[in-house]
Amino acid sequence: MKALFLIIGAPGSGKTTDAQLIAERNSDCMVHYSTGDLLRAEIAKQSERGQLIASFTSKGELVPLEIVIDTIITAIKNAPKEVIIIDGYPRSVEQMNALDRVLKAQEEVKLKGVVEVHVSEVVARERVLGRSRGDDDNIEVFNNRMQVYLKPLESIVEFYKALEVHQQINGERSIEAIVADIEAYIKTHIKDKNGLVKN
């Protein structure tokens, strides 16, 4: 059975970089997917679906649920490793519930942990507006993205706490400290570095 770990956090929390570093350090048994990267890859294809995705992301709005779920489930099923790290999901209660339904309906993948990389809104704003990844990084869109993240956060955290899979990490420290904490959390939930997973 594959082990799934979700990493959530505000725009600018560093969740994608954290997940990438952990997967690179443990490439024998872990693979990382960013929902943002998966969606941007679809946009880059300039497909009909990609254009539809772009019409939402360019405004900082959520991509329709069925597109996101299909993208994530495809990535999980095709994952070449036993431990899958996905960041940037879920971003809404609907996304959370949809993933929960899909996971309950199969026995190939088990959700082992949800890591919340916590940063203040002030730190998130400074990080996002100080970098350039595209035309969506302006103040109005940032504020929209931040509200989209914060609005369902309490419900998402409560849901995963009830499942005993939630872990909050302080994202305002050095990247080395953050990555070490997340990596340690993941490793305590898998059997060994060879990818043999606890059921």
Q: State the pLDDT at residue 137.
A: 55
Residue 87's nearest CA partner among 197, 180, 187, 12 is: 12
Tokens of 148: 């989209």
Q: Residue 133 annotated as binding? A: yes
- Would you say 90 is a known binding-site residue? yes
Candidates 88, 83, 82, 51; CA nearest to 68 is 88
Instruction: Judge whether residue 90 has pLDDT over 60.
Output: yes
Best CA proximity match to 82, nearest among 5, 1, 25: 1
Sheet holding 83-87, edge to edge: 30-34, 83-87, 2-9, 109-118, 166-170
Distance CA 32, CA 182 (A): 13
Q: What integer best gives the mean pLDDT of the chain?
A: 89
Q: What confidence category does residue 131 fall into, taking pLDDT thresholds of 50, 70 and 90?
A: low
- Share above pLDDT 90 across residues of the chain, in percent, rounded to a whole number: 60
Report whether 62 belongs to an annotated binding site. Answer: yes
Q: What is the structure's pLDDT at 193?
A: 47
Residue 88 corresponds to which amino acid? G
Please check if 17 is assigned to a binding site: yes
Q: Select 2-34+82-191's CATH number: 3.30.70.270, 3.40.50.300, 1.10.10.10, 1.10.1750.10.
A: 3.40.50.300
H helices within the chain, ranges in order? 15-25, 35-44, 48-57, 65-77, 93-104, 121-129, 139-150, 153-162, 175-188
Q: Does 16 show up as a binding residue in the annotation?
A: yes
Q: Which residue has better confidence, 96 or 66?
A: 96
Distance in angstroms (rounded) separating the CA atoms of residues 83 and 29: 6
Is 25 annotated in some ligand binding site? no
Q: Was 173 annotated as part of a binding site?
A: yes
Please indicate if the annotation marks 188 as binding a ligand.
Answer: no
Q: Which residue has the higher pLDDT, 134 or 26?
A: 26
Q: Is 121 annotated as a binding residue?
A: no
Predicted confidence band of residue 129 (pLDDT cuts 50, 70, 90): confident
Q: What per-residue confidence (pLDDT) applies to 23?
A: 97
| 145 labeled part of a ligand binding site | yes
Confidence of residue 133 (pLDDT cuts 50, 70, 90): low
Measure the CA–CA gap between 52 and 19, rounded to whole angstroms: 27
Mean pLDDT of 181-199: 75
Over residues 102-107, mean pLDDT: 90
pLDDT digits (tens, 9 = 90+) for 157-175: 999 999 999 999 999 999 9
Q: Is it the case that residue 199 has pLDDT exceeding 70?
A: no
The residues with which 114 forms a beta bridge, in sequence order, are 6, 166
